[in-house]
Amino acid sequence: MSELRLTFNFNVAMKFGLFILFLGIGFKVAAQDKTVDGIVFDKDTKSRIAVVYITNITTRQSVYNSLKGVFTINAHIGDKLVFTKQDYKPDTIKVQNYTSLAVYLNRGAIQLMEVTISDSLATPEQRLAATKNDYTKIYGTLNDHNWLSSSPGAGAGLGIDAIYDALSRSGRNASHLRSIIQANYYQDVIDYRFNSALVNRITGLKGAELKDFMQKYRPGYYFVIVATDYDFITSIRANYRRYLRRPKAYALDPLVTPTGK
């Protein structure tokens, strides 16, 4: 009888212990699911700021915000978030609740009146729009012809003007130029996200090593537009580890100078 009672008490204790264990794990997982999101702005211009480094100094987790200024980070009430970016003063915010945050950063230096020197700071979309505006002929009348035409009696058919423009020399040249402009736009999108400031901050590389790394591990256009900030930064860090193991990988063979006879 006493053995049966001991066995019963042991089973009850084991079940109770497992219940407490699973309950604790459940609370821990639920606690880890809490996130805080928001947008980072320039306090003076009220424009969104991209590539801001955000650190939860309580949990030591760090993330970058997106190109649209949006961020999401794991945090709980009472945690402190630090926002840092080059040319801006760092700011610390204590999490009070789980509503979206609007963070305004002050510039670290006096901002001079804007003077446009080149379009290097424009977004890829702005540069593409400017290029289309410069080449109105290939994006204007030639590009406006409808391939499909319709008439009350004959129904839908191919537009004669569109066929002529596509087969003529001017049409072929315009189409070729449009494809070049589109290819340049893809490279601008890559450069806009895969920039030296971001890669330097993640890898610490500078000068010739930074340039060498960025040439060898340049991402593709479709990865750039679909990758999340976490995936993008993780990819750069993984490639950096490969670079440290094999810095000569993907290097081009030196040019051979022909010797004269």
Tens-place pLDDT, residues 213-242: 998 899 998 888 888 888 899 999 999 999
Full residue range of the structural domain in which residue 137 is found: 124-245
Q: Are residues 238 and 144 in the same domain?
A: yes
Residue 260 within any structural domain of the chain: no
Read off the pLDDT of residues 127-146 as tens digits, 9 standing for 90 and up: 777 777 766 665 654 454 44
- Between CA 203 and CA 244 the distance in angstroms is 10
Residue with token string 């991402």? 219
Q: Are residues 160 and 95 in the same domain?
A: no
Q: Are residues 195 and 145 in the same domain?
A: yes
Q: Are residues 236 and 140 in the same domain?
A: yes
The one-letter code for the residue type at 191 is D
DSSP 196-214: HHHHHHHH---HHHHHHHH
Outline where DSSP puts E strands in the chain.
35-42, 53-56, 61-64, 70-74, 80-84, 91-94, 101-105, 148-151, 155-158
Residue 6 within any structural domain of the chain: no
Q: Are residues 136 and 228 in the same domain?
A: yes
Q: Are residues 98 and 165 in the same domain?
A: no
Residue 142 within any structural domain of the chain: yes
Residue 10 within any structural domain of the chain: no
- Between CA 142 and CA 172 the distance in angstroms is 11
Residue 3 within any structural domain of the chain: no
Read off the pLDDT of residues 54-104 as tens digits, 9 standing for 90 and up: 999 988 888 999 888 899 999 999 999 999 988 888 899 999 999 999 999
Structure tokens at 68: 């649209």
CATH number at residue 54: 2.60.40.1120
Q: Are residues 184 and 98 in the same domain?
A: no
Phi, psi dihedral angles at 188 (to 5 degrees)? -65, -40
- Between CA 78 and CA 167 the distance in angstroms is 67
Is the whole-model pTM more than 0.85?
Answer: no
Q: Are residues 142 and 61 in the same domain?
A: no
Q: Which residues does residue 152 pair with via DSSP β-bridges, in sequence order?
A: none
Task: Give the strand order in the sheet containing 35-42.
Answer: 70-74, 35-42, 101-105
Structure tokens at 215: 């040439």
Pairing, β 91-94 against β 148-151: unpaired
Question: What domain count does the chain have?
Answer: 2
Q: Are residues 95 and 202 in the same domain?
A: no
Residue 119 within any structural domain of the chain: no
Q: Are residues 239 and 128 in the same domain?
A: yes
Q: Are residues 57 and 134 in the same domain?
A: no
**Band of pLDDT at residue 17, cut at 50, 70 and 90:** low
Residue 145 within any structural domain of the chain: yes
Residue 151 within any structural domain of the chain: yes
In this prediction, residue 101 carries a pLDDT of 92
- Cα Rg of the chain (Å, integer): 29
Q: Are residues 131 and 218 in the same domain?
A: yes
Closest CA to 227 of 219, 218, 215: 219
